[in-house]
Amino acid sequence: MKKSLFALVAFILILSLGLAGCNSSKTSSDGNGKKGGDGGGVMIYGKGGDAVGLDPAHETDGESFIVTEQIFEPLLSYKKENTDVQPGLAKSWEISKDNLKYTLKLEEGIKFHDGTDFNAEAVVKNFERWMNGDAAKFPYYASMFGGYKKDKAHVIKEVKAVDKNTVQFTLKRPQAPFLKNLAMSPFAISSPAAIEKYGDKIGQNPVGTGPFKFKEWKRDATITVVKNDSYWKKGLPKLDGVTFKVIKDNSARMNALTKGEVDLIDNVNPSELDKIKSNNKLQVFERPSMNVAYLGFNTEKAPFNKKEVRQAINYLVNKDELIKNFYNGTAEAAATPLPSAIAGQNKDVKDYGYNETKAKELLKKAGLEKGFKMDLWAMPVSRPYMPDGKKIAEAIQANLKKVNIDANIVTFDWGVYLEKIRKGESPAFLIGWTGDNGDADNFLYSLLDKDTINSNNYSRYNSPAVHKLLIEAQSTADEAKREVLYKKAEKIIHEDAPWVPLVHAKPILGGTSKIKDFYPHPKGSQSFVEVSMTK
């Protein structure tokens, strides 16, 4: 009895030793794989917040897109440094004379990560899925294509597979930025087989055609993607994988970079810009500015349903001070929603500017000269357009106090925060937007048209005049004419003041000097397909 027990224990010990040996040898070979190769390796990317979900069509935020960009690809893509459209999964396209038919030729022989063929059928299935959805499932779709299949304003009449590698889109009315829309991160193509297999859980099990395959997601900690060995572009990706590590605190993320725990970080505190510049082991990446940070009002909720109140608060925000104290000068004051990089920005719209007396007059006109109490929502995470929302909120709070407006600063987890403001639960909130396709339409129509209430029009701004202008601009092909229309719309928006446009920020990324061929894209996220790391 005793002997057999001894033998058993000895056996277990030997077995565990053997297993441990297996385990360690496996990791070491993995480690060799990572370190070796030509400029490969695993890049660790420090980000400020976790992804909300990994089904790109379901998401609207940059923290999700930076991951989905690696796993998925849209039909078309953008140039490295701007938002000009270039071939992606579709190698060429033709537009009919009336601007209503778009025929796209697809690349041949591409496979999704799960082995399913990428073809016209897959594209059609993806579009059908989105257009048969609703605002809760695919919030971004409506912002770009006017609604869903059942809606009158929906732009796409039909998506059809002409043959195995040709897709044809038929529109109800011309949409000038249609090709740019197709290239946006949310409209990347998922494997139809995976959609069927995972159903509602597709957001945790993304399967695309991109340069990296999804491996693992530990909530609020890491997301791991690994090299797609059978990627259709030869010789790419150069990296063996990317690990996205969530480090919420800006300075902790910066510390991790300095210590070499991560290779690349986003949302660097503007105040720490000099620290990176003076360190020769680090380098600064400046993302071209294509964003706007704003204080939005829920125009359906009292007292912000009154234009005077909204204008009054516009007079109470001192943007220059905010830029100096919280952006370290790396931003410009916003007068209209459009940043200067986007064609159509109306330079004639003069900012409200800080003016306490005018604010008081307007409040008196609204019958609120005694002030009121309000909740001011501040985002919990650092965003490229706003490094620290709570501090901006505190600064605004102090200015509101001067006219007896008592603002109570409220915050939630990031996912909850977005969901609640989308549903219109917040009276006033800080948020921002990074343009996803470089078109004015992606700002004004996505954020301020009545069609996009419950989608990205968080302030629930409903102006028929603006709607008319924006739809007209969408349907016009002539760029000069479109600009005139957008400028008119901006003027009305300025007068109606559904927002306090705060700033257009220049987001800063920091990386180790090992990183090569990384170009931050103005749209806020980009694929790491060409990035490599020297040893």
Please report, as a single letter, which amino acid is at residue 212. Answer: F
Could you tell me the two tokens for 374? 């309000």
Window 138 to 197, contacts with another protein (CB under 8 A): none
Q: What DSSP string runs through 321-383? A: HHHHHHSTT-EEE-SSSS-TTSTT--TT-------HHHHHHHHHHTT-TT--EEEEE--SS-B
Q: Are 42 and 240 in contact (CB under 8 A)?
A: yes
Of the pair 83, 382, the CB lying nearest another protein is at: 382
Window 214 to 273, contacts with another protein (CB under 8 A): 250-251, 269, 271-272
CA distance 531 to 519: 9
- What angle do helix axes 356-365 and 307-316 make, rounded to 10 degrees? 170
Could you tell me the two tokens for 392? 């901006």
Of the pair 372, 519, the CB lying nearest another protein is at: 372
Among 24, 25, 32, 408, binds another protein (CB under 8 A): 408
Could you tell me the two tokens for 107? 């690349």
Minimum CB separation from another protein for residue 387, in Å?
10
Could you tell me the two tokens for 136? 């809760």
Window 411 to 440, contacts with another protein (CB under 8 A): 411
Among 409, 454, 472, 491, binds another protein (CB under 8 A): 409
Of the pair 54, 317, the CB lying nearest another protein is at: 317
- Beta-ladder partners of 333: 503
Query: What track of x and - describes contact with another protein for positions 368 through 407 (by CB under 8 A)?
Result: ----------------------xx-xxx-xxx-x------
Q: Are strands 212-218 and 515-516 parallel, antiparallel or unpaired?
A: unpaired
Window 296 to 355, contacts with another protein (CB under 8 A): 318, 321-322, 324-326
Query: How many amino acids of this chain bind another protein (CB under 8 A)?
Result: 23
**Helix, strand and coil percent figures for the chain, each rounded to 5:** 35, 20, 40
Residue 474 touching another protein (CB under 8 A): no
Of the pair 159, 393, the CB lying nearest another protein is at: 393
Of the pair 155, 407, the CB lying nearest another protein is at: 407
Please report, as a single letter, which amino acid is at residue 36. Answer: G
Residue 69, SS3? helix
Minimum CB separation from another protein for residue 251, in Å?
4
Minimum CB separation from another protein for residue 60, in Å?
25
Could you tell me the two tokens for 172? 């109800």
Please report, as a single letter, which amino acid is at residue 265. Answer: I
Of the pair 470, 502, the CB lying nearest another protein is at: 502
Of the pair 408, 513, the CB lying nearest another protein is at: 408
Binding region for another protein (CB under 8 A): 250-251, 269, 271-272, 318, 321-322, 324-326, 390-391, 393-395, 397-399, 401, 408-409, 411
